[in-house]
Amino acid sequence: MKKTLLVTGGAGFIGANFVHYWLKSNPDDSVIVLDALTYAGNIDNLASVQSLANFHFVHGDICDTDLVEKLLHEYQINTIVHFAAESHVDRSITGPDAFIETNIMGTYSLLKASKKVWIDLPKEQGRESVSHRFHHVSTDEVYGTLGPDDPAFREDTAYAPNSPYSASKAASDHLVRAYHHTYGLDVTTSNCSNNYGPYHFPEKLIPLIIANVLRNKPLPIYGDGQQIRDWLYVEDHARGIELVINKGRVGENYNIGGHNEWANIDIVKLICDKMDQAFATDPLLQKRFPLASQAIAGESQSLISYVTDRPGHDRRYAIDATKTNQELGYKPSESFETGIAKTLQWYLSNESWWKPLLIN
């Protein structure tokens, strides 16, 4: 069936990569992006698709239920892919209100509009419910933290969020589940590990390290840097979501991971080494980024600076994607070696994108 997607938060990092992937893989489908264009939403992320006849951008807030209903009617949307969220843990610690509003109330607004348009109105008119899918994009952080030898998170792992961000995402996950079991809304949820790749907002670890090496600035590392994350190339995440939407069982959760655990400090050292290698072999880079003199000398690791750990910092995340692999045939296409190489090249080639977004 031809799909008309409403992609919330489609101008953000993962959302924009998903939009690019979906339009390339499903050229007969239509995609409508709804994004409030807050600090993490950037319309430039969608520049290459804005001229397509089957793409439309709407500047608006998911908390505006009337607007969501209008879009569902106007574009005859049959699939919602819900990315829109406040997602930066540090920001959730200093200002949790926005996370409660967007992640909980915003998800509720979407669910309420979807139920009305896809289920309630057809019933009032004596028709069957509209064929639909509400796909909710969540995170591994809802599961809490793991010890060094604990098994990876499974879909049946108990929720134990430790930050206002992860707590707000956990609440939204529960709302989505409730709307399926109580009202019959056709939903799926995916919980992903840490993403990396193009269009990643430069306050996050990997793009921040790249940008700071290029500007010869300190590379801040929380605590001892031994926090472990499972890293997933963002296009592999998009492909995983596509499989869940097309083949996943209604009402089910699916973990999407990279099978790729790294300590933060080791990620930083890897990027430093790759930056050093790039500058040592490419004289043009030396001319384009004169401030990266330490990288040229092969000493970018000297920029590493350990800072006070943030409150409630989870020690380890790891995703067990066995269910997604077995049921949907999912596995990452990119190795970490190839994914990091593509990411580094993208940031070296797109300074005009990331530089204006930097705070200092």
Q: Please give the positions annotated as active site.
A: 140-141, 165
> 345 in a domain, yes or no?
no
pLDDT for residue 212: 94
pLDDT for residue 238: 98
> 142 in a domain, yes or no?
yes
> 46 in a domain, yes or no?
yes
What is the 3-class SS of the chain, one letter each residue? CCCEEEEECCCCHHHHHHHHHHHHHCCCCEEEEEECCCCCCCHHHHHHHCCCCCEEEEECCCCCHHHHHHHHHHCCCCEEEECCCCCCHHHHHHCCHHHHHHHHHHHHHHHHHHHHHHHHHHHHCCCCCCCCEEEEEEEHHHHCCCCCCCCCECCCCCCCCCCHHHHHHHHHHHHHHHHHHHHCCCEEEEEECEEECCCCCCCCHHHHHHHHHHCCCCEEEECCCCCEEEEEEHHHHHHHHHHHHHHCCCCCEEEECCCCEEEHHHHHHHHHHHHHHHHHHCHHHHHHCCCCHHHHCCCHHHHEEEECCCCCCCCECCECCHHHHHHHCCCCCCCHHHHHHHHHHHHHHCHHHHHHHCCC
> 40 in a domain, yes or no?
yes
> 109 in a domain, yes or no?
yes
pLDDT for residue 203: 85
Number of domain units in the chain: 1
pLDDT for residue 297: 64
> 163 in a domain, yes or no?
yes
Q: Which residues of the chain have pLDDT under 50?
A: none
> 188 in a domain, yes or no?
yes
pLDDT for residue 86: 83
> 240 in a domain, yes or no?
yes
pLDDT for residue 146: 93
pLDDT tens digits, 164-188 = 899 999 999 999 999 999 999 999 9
pLDDT tens digits, 317-343 = 999 999 999 999 999 999 999 999 999
The CATH number linked to 161 is 3.40.50.720
Residue numbers of the domain that contains 163: 4-196+232-258+319-333
Percent of residues, the chain, with pLDDT higher than 70: 98
